């Protein structure tokens, strides 16, 4: 996970499209650069990045989560390079390069006139004032965090599914709401155990304000792929990785053509909106009401994104 310091996050709030894009690109460049260094891994890696802009209390907290395999293809393409026993890349090394690259790109964006400043930050439009504003960030450690890998592909899909369409808060965290206030569950990441979970109540207008902080610019993609998973080379790289790891390609599990109903009509096998596999649970005549009333959670229906 790559997190922007609070001072940079304040600027990002007024320049979401530019700085969120930089956060994606710089964090990916940091990972691929260090991974390619023979002193660290010496390989080309695959990255799936997911943007979060919120903390548990829905404050503005932009950071990027990454899913990275435990290794990569050797720089000469000859074999698979596995990670070291306890870690993939050193977080302190990542932190220093991430800080340097981000400050360089922010300075360049300012020089190109890509950043806007309002209110208490209006004076940062001056190049000297902006440089002075960034100076303290050069001396602090920027937060980069790594954790153990997922249990398997299903865990990866479950993780991604929570963030493809959700913004800031899920319904299960909401406890109560009325015209005056909203109460919801929050988690204090600085604490361990049951004490890290508590409730927070905000005036309704403040809850709405915090929620709207995290609406992304129109057309902005929250999930992106880099390295071996970049769109132009993904298919060839996946085939090569399977070859090196001696893994058979996954079975599609879907008919090549739409399936036919008893009456001969064709049914789509994938949802037109999300691309997920469609499961037929009942057929009924036009004008008739369906008889099926089971809850999806009880019958185990899920979206298959494989």
Which residues, 6 or more positions from 282, have their beta carbon under 8 angstroms from its beta carbon? Answer: 290, 291, 292
What pLDDT, in 10s, does the model give residues 195-252? 788 999 999 999 999 999 999 999 999 999 999 999 889 999 999 999 998 888 876 5
Contact at 8 Å (CB) between 49 and 24?
yes
Beta strands at 197-203 and 181-187: parallel, antiparallel or unpaired: antiparallel
Which pTM does this prediction carry? 0.78
CB neighbours of residue 210 within 10 Å: 19
Where does the pLDDT of residue 305 fall: very low under 50, low under 70, confident under 90, or very high at 90 and above? very low
Where does the pLDDT of residue 150 fall: very low under 50, low under 70, confident under 90, or very high at 90 and above? confident
Mean pLDDT of 139-163: 82
pLDDT at 277 over 90: no
More confident residue, 89 or 287: 89
Q: CA distances (Å), 66 to each of 56, 77, 220, in order?
A: 19, 23, 17
d(CA 273, CA 257) in angstroms, rounded, equals: 18
More confident residue, 266 or 278: 278
Which residues, 6 or more positions from 295, have their beta carbon under 8 angstroms from its beta carbon? Answer: none
d(CA 139, CA 59) in angstroms, rounded, equals: 25
Three-state secondary structure call for residue 76: coil
């Amino acid at each position: 996970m790559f997190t922007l310091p609070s001072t940079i996050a304040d600027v990002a709030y007024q320049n979401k499209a530019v700085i969120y894009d930089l956060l994606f690109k710089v964090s990916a460049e940091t990972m691929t650069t260090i991974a390619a260094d023979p002193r660290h891994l010496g390989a080309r890696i695959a990255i799936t990045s997911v943007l979060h802009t919120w903390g548990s209390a829905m404050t503005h907290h932009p950071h990027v989560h990454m899913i990275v395999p435990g290794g990569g293809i050797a720089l000469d393409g000859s074999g698979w390079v596995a990670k070291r026993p306890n870690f993939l890349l050193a977080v302190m090394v990542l932190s220093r390069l991430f800080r340097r690259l981000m400050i360089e790109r922010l300075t360049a964006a300012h020089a190109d006139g890509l950043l806007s400043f309002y209110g208490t930050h209006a004076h940062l439009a001056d190049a000297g004032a902006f440089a002075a504003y960034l100076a303290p960030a050069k001396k602090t450690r920027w937060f980069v965090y790594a954790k153990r890998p997922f249990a398997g592909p299903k865990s990866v899909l479950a993780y991604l599914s929570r963030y493809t369409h959700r913004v800031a808060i899920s319904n299960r965290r909401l406890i109560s709401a009325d015209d005056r206030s909203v109460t919801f569950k929050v988690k204090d990441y600085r604490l361990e155990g049951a004490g890290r979970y508590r409730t927070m109540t905000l005036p309704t207008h403040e809850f709405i304000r915090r929620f709207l902080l995290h609406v992304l610019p129109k057309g902005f993609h929250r999930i992106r792929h880099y390295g071996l998973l970049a769109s132009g080379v993904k298919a060839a790289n996946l085939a090569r990785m399977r070859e090196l790891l001696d893994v058979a390609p996954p079975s599609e599990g879907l008919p090549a053509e739409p399936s036919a109903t008893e009456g001969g009509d064709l049914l789509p096998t994938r949802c037109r909106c999300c691309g997920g596999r469609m499961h037929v649970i009942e057929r009924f005549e036009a004008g008739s009401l369906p008889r099926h009333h089971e809850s999806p959670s009880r019958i185990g229906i899920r979206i298959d994104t494989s």
